[in-house]
């Protein structure tokens, strides 16, 4: 048996939340379940604290933090209609 340690590369996610008022919030995380719980507990982003509760509409798995941030930025540039098309594709 080898003593070689296998380092697990964290998986990153981008996600789109639907807020109580119908608005959307886009973010990224390496723990989607924990982040969603934090948002709904009022400990997520400042925007979502004022628009609770939130519902997960869409998530996408990415290889690393850099990729997640780039994808998050690209999605944030989309208008609501294009975000809805993205959500509907899944």
For the segment 14-60, what is each residue's pLDDT rounded down to a tens digit?
999 999 999 999 999 999 999 999 999 999 889 999 999 999 999 99
pTM of the model: 0.86
**Whole-number Å distance between alpha carbons of 55 and 64:** 24
**Whole-number Å distance between alpha carbons of 75 and 90:** 15
Determine the topology of domain 12-89 in CATH: GIY-YIG endonuclease (3.40.1440)
- Confidence grade of residue 89 (pLDDT, cut at 50, 70, 90): confident
Identify the pLDDT of residue 12.
97
**Whole-number Å distance between alpha carbons of 44 and 78:** 22
28, with CB counted inside 10 A (0-12, 13-18, 19+), is buried
Mean pLDDT within 69-85: 96
**Whole-number Å distance between alpha carbons of 8 and 83:** 31
């Amino acid at each position: 048996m080898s003593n070689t340690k296998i380092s697990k590369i964290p998986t990153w996610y981008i996600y789109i939340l639907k807020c109580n008022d119908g608005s959307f919030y886009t973010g990224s995380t390496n723990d989607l379940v924990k982040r969603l719980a934090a948002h709904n507990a009022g400990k997520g982003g400042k925007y979502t604290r004022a628009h609770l509760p939130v519902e997960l509409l869409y998530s996408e798995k990415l290889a690393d933090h850099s990729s997640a941030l780039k994808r998050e930025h690209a999605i944030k540039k989309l208008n609501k209609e294009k975000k809805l098309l993205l959500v509907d594709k899944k």
